[in-house]
Structure 1
Amino acid sequence: MSRATGVSRAALRSWRDGTRGARTSGCPRCASVPGPPEPQAAYAYLLGQYLGDGTLSRGRGNVWSLRIACADSYPLIMAECAGAVRALRPNNTISRLHRQGCTYVTARWKHWPCLFPQHGPGMKHTRAIVLEPWQEEVVGRHTAEFLRGLFHSDGCRMTNWTRRTVAGVERRYEYPRWFFSNRSADILALCSGSLDRLGIAHRFPRPDTISVARREAVAALDAVVGRRS
């Protein structure tokens, strides 16, 4: 029949079995009963990465490309980002587009805007970034993963130092410190709120920067973010 009609065997088989048109988008937000993406922990991490260094762009056939810029100097973070995309879309092809100093972890799907409704024209700091109620619930359940994604994208851990005179002797003291920088006040507020939820003390040394400097706060954030590598 396929040779006689020119219709593919797969199409004929689907007509025979009554499965023609039964394929779904697999989008949890377009389902008859919308729900959060699964696994939620992977989504919370990827949401943090997207808000920091992610973009969506529309291509042919209304297919969207999710691109997360990952620094080449942190290959394990790049692998974790790709792993989160694969956890959400196990059947998608994940490609890596190399640019100077960074690599874009990329996956194409028609429904990325459903998962990241914060997408819009212009740069993120020029428009409002507000989580949907279902996103707030996911972030509330998986705050650590969300913070991990934020700090893996726009965070850095540094070692500061100071000199103190003790018993007449000047000594050098070093201490670690975390910074998170973003030009979007809304994204900074999301990061600050998540730190508050986990009881991690922080402050704003500059309008576009969050600092975590207290010893116990740095230790708590270390446990959440892990080693940047």
Structure 2
Amino acid sequence: MTIKVLLLEDEELVRSGIRMILDSDPEIEVVAEGDDGAHAVELTDRYRPDVVLTDVQMPKVDGIEVTRRLTGRADPPSVVILTTFDLDEYVYAALRHGAAGFLLKDTPPRDLVAAVRVVGKGEAMLSPRITRRLLTTFATGAAGEQARSRLAELTPREHDVAVCLGHGLSNGEIARKLGLSESTVKVHIGHIMAKLDAGNRTQVALVVHDAGLTDQDA
């Protein structure tokens, strides 16, 4: 299955470089690109990408607004934020709005391709180590009680799976750790997302982090 990508980046040289890297993989097709997020919805409707790679800071409509517009739609693509800095309050805001994760612009080509393939298949969020550090930097204590209350709705097994998601584990890693089949893990994740009203795995991870559970062993 080909993973279709919409690329939004205002720096032409950066955009061309990313496109060249992605086009080198036979499983990835950059179906459209733009230098601003103003036409993100229109391009998404026209080309139906699986993944939208968007710069976090663009002149007219930035990556946060792109994320908000796209993730609120039916059957949205996975939105991945491109940023220069790994600790960026704008990236944190985008994650809150439903972005699947983020990539640094200096990510090695092999890792960039691998990340797009992974998120395009809905398997795992990106850069779990850096994402956890980002959350630790920008999370507020006020969210903790609310997060713990939301997690109380989960069954014990769903809670275990949610904590694994908070550590950025893939379905296969969760299955091996908890002694489950991958299909069972997928069912649990579906239930967790429904109970937490989460649009993707990253939003589940945010709740787990706010509840203070990412300090537990993965």
**TM-score by shorter chain over 0.5:** no
Larger radius of gyration: 1
Higher relative strand content:
1
Give the TM-score taking structure 2 as reference length. Answer: 0.29
